[in-house]
Amino acid sequence: MDAQYAAAYRDLYKGHWWWRVREEIVLAKIEAILGRAHDVRILDVGCGAGLFFDALERFGYVEGIESDAAIVEQAGRWQQRIVVAELDDSYTPDEPFDLILLLDVLEHVAQAAELLRHAARVLGRRGTILVTVPAFDWLWTAHDELNHHVKRYTAAEMRRVLTEGGLVPVETGYLFQSLIVPKLLVRAKEALTSRSAHVPGIPSQAVNAALQAWYRREYALFGGLPFGSSLMAIARHR
């Protein structure tokens, strides 16, 4: 992640409509996956400073793994639950996990299937992996470069990489359907001018609230449409 982006990330995560809506969608999906089981072990891969841990805590035990030690130092009470490391063979938790989250992680990785194989290795036999990624390479903008992305995914590509990672895809679906339009406008503008991106800011309170309400409603009504600017996938063991 760009250093300036990393410095602003906490405020964006806590306040920006996009992060708020994504968290709501992910939490609802976790509720659907776990049902009544609220004593599970959860691993948040690429967890940063553990900003999602407060919301995840109600489901059970939460642990994270993050490669950036400087970000982990900002984790406060969650710091002891975050392992500073890469998710590879060196990571050996005491017990397998019931749920593993890779929230906007795989787009940063050239060998995504390999990372998924490591995730599968620490997943319990009846466990679930939940993935979110940006969707469609034709929505690529300078914002992807600012975030050091390697790839944006289609649902078919995600199913393939999950399978290559030793997992069984059970669900894929797109998020933020109408966000495709402004993304395409930005892409068209960048084609005509110099490509540059800046760290996003939080809109005014009224605009931020309106966008949050719109995209929350959009997902409830149109979440099944076969397009969007982001993608969510669920997978389990073979």
Specify the long-range contacts of residues 209-216, CB closer than 8 Å, at least 24 apart.
209/17, 211/17, 212/17, 212/20, 212/21, 214/178, 215/17, 215/18, 215/21, 215/176, 215/178, 215/179, 216/21, 216/24
Please say whether the beta carbons of 232 and 173 come within 8 A: yes
Q: What radius of gyration do the chain's Cα atoms show?
A: 17
Which residues in the chain come in under a pLDDT of 70? 1-2
What confidence score (pLDDT) does residue 88 get?
95
What confidence score (pLDDT) does residue 198 get?
82
What confidence score (pLDDT) does residue 4 get?
75
Q: What is the pTM of this model?
A: 0.96
Kindly list the structural domains of the chain, giving each domain's residue range(s) and its CATH number in brackets, ordered by start: 3-237 (3.40.50.150)
What confidence score (pLDDT) does residue 235 get?
98
What confidence score (pLDDT) does residue 38 get?
82
Q: How far apart are CA 199 and CA 143, in angstroms?
A: 8
What confidence score (pLDDT) does residue 186 get?
93
Place of tokens 């968290």: 23
Specify the long-range contacts of residues 58-61, CB closer than 8 Å, at least 24 apart.
59/30, 59/34, 59/99, 60/98
What confidence score (pLDDT) does residue 2 get?
64
Judging by DSSP bridges, how do beta strands 60-66 and 40-45 pair with one another? parallel
